[in-house]
Every structure is written in structure tokens, then in C-alpha cells.
Structure 1
Amino acid sequence: MHHLGTRADRRKRGVGRTLMAAAEQHAAHRGLDVLRLSTGSFNADAQAFFASLGYEPYSIRFIRRP
């Protein structure tokens, strides 16, 4: 999965959870034992959503623009 998004006025209806559950089932079917995802450091809503699904932070990336 490359992007997951829900319009602000459609959130809190289970769409994201349903999509993530399908992705996790697909990964399990393929025998994957680790799932990784990323989001912007500014995206507190996405971070809270993924944490609510049991995902934990594991890496910090830095960027510098010239």
C-alpha cells in the first residue's frame, strides 16, 4: 500500500480500519511477519490512527533542504 487517506468529513467511520485489516490479512497470507509504514512527522492524526491499530514508532528520519 502506498497511500491511505480518508476525507476529513468521512473519518471515524471504520474505513481506514477496514482497509488496514485487509492489508494485514493480505500480508499474513503472503507469510510476512513485519509490517512497516510511514507518515509525516506533522501528521499527528495518522500517527494516532496507526498507534490505535498497535503500530509502534521504530525509526526517525531527518531531512535538510539546501
Structure 2
Amino acid sequence: MTHLSESVRTIIDDKLTSLGVGQEFKDMVFKRYLPTITESVEEMIDEEIDYIVTQSEISITRTEL
């Protein structure tokens, strides 16, 4: 399990705990949804980083002009 996957699992576990669900339900959620949620988070992070880098490059280019 990657560090990101572990972090996502912890966040989901905390949320499910706050909703009062049992361990059996949590286990089902982890098995069924953790890979998909983790993949979505990875994609979102990649997109945000790409955007930040692109904006930084544009800013640097404007500064150099």
C-alpha cells in the first residue's frame, strides 16, 4: 500500500467512524472503493501540480520579458 493509499484509507476510516458505521462495512468500503478513490486523488494531485507548474512557467516567462 502506498503512502497516499494509506492516507486516503485513514481519511475514509475517520469519516466512516464519525458516521458510526461498523468495521464490517468499513472493510467492504476499503475493498471495493479504496483503489478507485486513491486513483481519483492521484489524478487530481497530478492535474493540480501540472497547473501550478504551468502557471509558474508563465509567470517566470512574463518576468523575463
Q: TM-score, normalised by structure 2?
A: 0.37
Q: Which has the larger radius of gyration?
A: 2
Q: TM-score, normalised by structure 1?
A: 0.36
Higher relative contact order, structure no. (Cα contacts within 8 Å, ≥ 6 residues apart): 2
